[in-house]
Structure 1
Amino acid sequence: MSLLNVTFACNRYDRTTPLADGTVKPRGIDLNVLLLGGVEQVFWRMLMHQEFDASEMSLSSYLMMRDRGQDDLIAIPVFLSRVFRHSCIFVREDSKLEDPKQLIGATVGVPEYQMTAAVWAKAILLDEYGVHPRDIIWRNGGLDQPGRIEKLKLDLPADIRISYIPAEETLNQQLLDGKIDALVTARPPSSFLDGTNRVRRLIRNHREVEAEYYLRTKIFPPMHTVVIKRKLYEANRWMAMSLFEAFQETLTLCDPLKMFDGHLRYSLPFLPAWIEELQTKFGGIEMWKYGFEPNRKTLETLVRNQKEQGLVKNDLRLEDMFAPETLDSYRN
């Protein structure tokens, strides 16, 4: 039997490299993996033009699209990117802001209001600190390059105050100039990375706060999922489970316990200590676990906050967001 040719676009991760180099081969599929830099472009090309058979996808954008009745893509419960977002709120070094609760009434920049990193940051502000999105004045724009716009058109409640900064300006410079009080961004702004100490994180002890958050909630916020063109999926329903199983296999290959055998595989001097802490305190690779049921609570938290933020209008049935062949209840 001939193999099904599938083109898959994603970022380069330790969890995608085994698929790209052929170490892991999904059954029945000849997978052409495109490791593309800048996942925002992957999202745009898939959302707007469906250029690939399957791709990594913004989880927030995907759920918004499904909420709006667009079902030309179907996801599998694989979450390639996860990041704690307490650390993604930045202020000037001389800012009087020291606690997230002080953001009430503040003007805060965000590259895209709907991007998953911002959704999780706003979720943390609401759930952990009682700051609702309507309590903040939002400003959209490019982080270090001007002109960024939302990938999906926003239809927000009237009490969400948001507007674009001038097209020629950047959020990074607006923060430095005092035109905004804080900045929520997936990537640190250049003014934080340039060594000038002009910008700092709002939550100074973010690592301890994020660790406590995970141990209490068991939420390791997913940013991206994997989507397949529905037409291709409907013609080959078996492919969803084949891809899911392949991603499961790749995850076992990047277990942190395999990253140190007396020699540093990566240029990280304190890697052994981090691996030990990850294993003893957080359960190791279990934090990255794929599948629907293990991630149900986290997904429910995300969608509830999308509704609070005005991004999702309906009560989404999460089981319908993923290929039924990949649901744990289907497999049992």
Structure 2
Amino acid sequence: MTDCALTIGCFQYDTTRALFDGSVRLEGADVTMATAATLPELFERLIRASEFDIAELGLTFYLRLLETGLPYVALPIFPNRVFRHSCVFVNVHCGITDPTHLSGRVIGEFGIYGQDSGVWAKGILSDEYGFRPERNRWVIGGLESPAPPFDFVPHPRPAELEWSAASEGASLNAMLDAGEIDALFSANVPQCVLDGSPNVARLFPDFEPLERDYYRRTAIFPIMHTIVVRKDLLQARPRLAQDVYRAFTQAKERAAEHYRRGRRLYQVQTMVPWMNALIDRDIDQLGADWWPYGIAANHAALDTYLRYHFEQGLSSRRWKVDDVFAPELLNS
């Protein structure tokens, strides 16, 4: 059978590098790999123009479009996942020194109310500290450069939620540094923090012990993005879902094995001091497959995210895990 031509759009992570360099191939397909400068650009190209046959997509973008109609279905492949206690930043002059001080504040969020990182941060703060997002005023805009809220995806939110777009010409980074917003929920570290601004700090400065304790108690490693495939392709090629899953898993395993082998040489292939100790700690706590794909290993994380999405008014229904992923891989 002649290989079919497919385009895969995703970010270049270590977990996808083997797909980009061709050392892992998708069986029965002639694949063109594509990426973008930013993840929102990648999502927009998928949503506006169905530019890719297979692509990375943020979970909240997928769930919003699942309700309105989307010609793609998700596979349990998760190329982007990050613990999120570290993603809440505060202006130090606003008197916010613990999570209880967030109530009634003005909080910024990049591009959309309910970014994947924000869904997790709000949900964890709600579960652990009683945070209620609807008690705050939210400002949506560009992180480093002025930008309006995303216009390529629906914006569901609770009716009582108070929000506004950032002022024209204002970025969330500059607003946080100036104290024009009290806090920022951000998937990226804002430039003012990287520049060492004395005006801004993390809500949880020593976040790693908190995130490790969170994992120890919940076994949840927060998931941001999934991989989606065109529905018509899955219908035309019954084995495609399994083949895509296998290829992404093989690519991820190439990366994991690189780090596992590197333990013998103290990870000298990197320039990060004590990387070997970090890898050892991660394997000790998270196991040899610390970045699992599939439903079984991620069911708790996925179900928690779906609960948060509903509780935060971003879904009209409480989705179940089996509702949102390709049936062919529900037993993965």
- TM over 0.5: same fold? yes
Q: Which residue of 2 aligns with 1:81?
A: 80
The separation in 2 between residues aligned to 1:207 and 1:152, in whole angstroms, is: 33
Q: Which residue of 2 aligns with 1:19?
A: 19
RMSD value over aligned CA atoms? 1.5
The separation in 1 between residues aligned to 2:57 and 2:6, in whole angstroms, is: 16
Query: Any idea what SS the aligned residue of 1:156 has?
Result: coil
TM-score of the aligned structures, taking structure 2 as reference length: 0.94
Q: Which residue of 2 aligns with 1:316?
A: 319
Contact 1:73 1:230 in 2 (8 A): yes
Query: Do structure 1's residue 53 and structure 2's residue 53 form an aligned pair?
Result: yes
Contact 1:233 1:239 in 2 (8 A): yes
The separation in 2 between residues aligned to 1:158 and 1:63, in whole angstroms, is: 19
Query: Any idea what SS the aligned residue of 1:31 has?
Result: strand
Q: Which residue of 1 aligns with 2:71?
A: 72
**Which consecutive residues of structure 1, in runs of 5 or more, have no partner in the other structure?**
none
The separation in 2 between residues aligned to 1:196 and 1:180, in whole angstroms, is: 15
Q: Percent identity?
A: 34
Query: Do structure 1's residue 279 and structure 2's residue 256 form an aligned pair?
Result: no
**Alpha-carbon spacing, 1:155–1:60, altered in 2? closer, same or farther (3 Å):** closer
Letter matched to residue 47 of structure 2: L
1:264 pairs, out of 238, 248, 268, with 268
The separation in 2 between residues aligned to 1:59 and 1:258, in whole angstroms, is: 32
Query: Any idea what SS the aligned residue of 2:245 has?
Result: helix
Measure how far apart 1:3 and its partner are.
Answer: 1.0
TM-score of the aligned structures, taking structure 1 as reference length: 0.94
Query: Do structure 1's residue 63 and structure 2's residue 35 form an aligned pair?
Result: no
**Alpha-carbon spacing, 1:114–1:152, altered in 2? closer, same or farther (3 Å):** farther
The separation in 1 between residues aligned to 2:268 and 2:214, in whole angstroms, is: 29
Query: Any idea what SS the aligned residue of 1:162 has?
Result: strand
Q: CA offsets, 1:150-175, max 9 Å, x none?
A: 34232322221111121211111211
Letter matched to residue 88 of structure 1: C
Query: Any idea what SS the aligned residue of 1:43 has?
Result: helix
Q: Which residue of 1 aligns with 2:41?
A: 41
The separation in 1 between residues aligned to 2:235 and 2:198, in whole angstroms, is: 53
Q: Which residue of 1 aligns with 2:297?
A: 294
Question: How many residues are aligned here?
Answer: 327
Deviates more, 1:39-48 or 1:150-159: 150-159
Q: Which residue of 1 aligns with 2:108?
A: 109
Shift >3 Å, 4+ stretches: none
Q: CA offsets, 1:230-266, max 9 Å, x none?
A: 1222211211110101111122212231234315112
Contact 1:61 1:114 in 2 (8 A): no
The separation in 2 between residues aligned to 1:163 and 1:59, in whole angstroms, is: 23
Q: CA offsets, 1:108-167, max 9 Å, x none?
A: 111121221111111111111111111221111111110131342323222211111212
Measure how far apart 1:69 and its partner are.
Answer: 3.6
**Which consecutive residues of structure 2, in runs of 5 or more, have no partner in the other structure?**
none
Letter matched to residue 232 of structure 2: K
Measure how far apart 1:82 and its partner are.
Answer: 0.4
Measure how far apart 1:46 and its partner are.
Answer: 0.4
Contact 1:82 1:221 in 2 (8 A): yes
The separation in 2 between residues aligned to 1:148 and 1:89, in whole angstroms, is: 21
Contact 1:9 1:54 in 2 (8 A): yes
